[in-house]
Structure 1
Amino acid sequence: MGFLSVNSDHSIKASPRFCNLSGHMTELLEIHSPNPTLHILFIPGNPGIINFYKDFVESLYELLQGNASVTAIGHISYFLIILGEVSFQDWEHGRLFTLEEQINHKVDFITHELQNSNIPVILVGHSVGSYISIEVFKRASHKVVYFVGLYPFLTLNAESSKQTAIKKLTASPTLRLIFSLFVALMGLIPGWSRFIVTKTIGSSWSDTAIDAGCSHLLKYHTIRNVLFMAMTEFQKFSEEPDWKFLRGNQDQIAFLFGIDDHWGPLFLFEEISKNAPNVSLSIEKEGHDHAFSCTVAGSRWVAQHVATLIQKCLSTL
Structure 2
Amino acid sequence: MAPEITPNTFLTTTGSLSDQKTTIFFISGNPGLIGYYHPFLSLLSKYLDEPKEQHSPNLPSFQIYGCSLSGFEIDEHRPLPSQNNGVDLDLDLEDQICFVQGKLAALMGDGTNGNGNGTVNAGTRQNVILIGHSVGAYIAMEILRRHHEENPESSFDIVGGAMLFPTVKDIAASPSGQKLTTLLSIIPRLAVVVSFLARLLTLLLPASLLRSVARLVMGDPPVHALDTTCAFLKSPRGVRQALYMAADEMRTITSDKWSDDVWGAASAREPIAKLFFYFGRNDHWVADQTRDEIVAVRGRKGGEVGPTMIVCEEGLPHAFCLKHSGVMARKVAGMIGQIVA
Equivalences for 1:106-255 in 2 at 5 Å?
106-116=100-110, 118-141=125-148, 143-157=157-171, 160-170=174-184, 172-188=187-203, 189-200=206-217, 202-242=218-258, 244=260, 245-246=262-263, 247=265, 248=268, 249=271, 252-255=274-277
Paired AA for residue 211 in structure 1: D
Once residues 158 and 221 of structure 1 are traced to their aligned partners in structure 2, the CA distance between those partners, rounded to angstroms, is: 24
Once residues 190 and 134 of structure 1 are traced to their aligned partners in structure 2, the CA distance between those partners, rounded to angstroms, is: 39
Once residues 183 and 3 of structure 2 are traced to their aligned partners in structure 1, the CA distance between those partners, rounded to angstroms, is: 38
* 1:171-192 deviation digits (Å, cap 9, x = unpaired): 6443322111112222333122
Once residues 229 and 201 of structure 2 are traced to their aligned partners in structure 1, the CA distance between those partners, rounded to angstroms, is: 12
Structure 1 segments unaligned to the other structure (5+ residues)? 1-11, 18-26
CA-atom RMSD in angstroms: 2.5
Once residues 223 and 315 of structure 2 are traced to their aligned partners in structure 1, the CA distance between those partners, rounded to angstroms, is: 19
Once residues 171 and 139 of structure 2 are traced to their aligned partners in structure 1, the CA distance between those partners, rounded to angstroms, is: 18
CA 1:64–1:139: 2 relative to 1, 3 Å: same
Residue 58 of structure 1 is matched in structure 2 by: 42
Residue 92 of structure 1 is matched in structure 2 by: 82
* Structure number with bigger Rg: 2
SS of equivalent to 1:269: helix
TM-score by length of 2: 0.77
Paired AA for residue 268 in structure 1: T
Residue 5 of structure 2 is matched in structure 1 by: 15
Residue 31 of structure 1 is matched in structure 2 by: 12
Residue 121 of structure 2 is matched in structure 1 by: none
Paired AA for residue 287 in structure 2: P
- Which of 288, 300, 306 is the aligned partner of 2:316? 288
Measure how far apart 1:196 and its partner are. Answer: 1.5
State the identity as a percent.
23
Once residues 190 and 214 of structure 2 are traced to their aligned partners in structure 1, the CA distance between those partners, rounded to angstroms, is: 21
SS of equivalent to 2:311: strand
| Contact persistence 2:137–2:163 (CA under 8 A) | yes
| Contact persistence 1:257–1:266 (CA under 8 A) | no
Structure 2 segments unaligned to the other structure (5+ residues)? 51-60, 111-123, 149-155, 301-306
CA 1:236–1:219: 2 relative to 1, 3 Å: same
CA 1:218–1:265: 2 relative to 1, 3 Å: farther
TM-score by length of 1: 0.82
Paired AA for residue 65 in structure 1: D
Number of aligned pairs? 288
Measure how far apart 1:157 and its partner are. Answer: 4.9
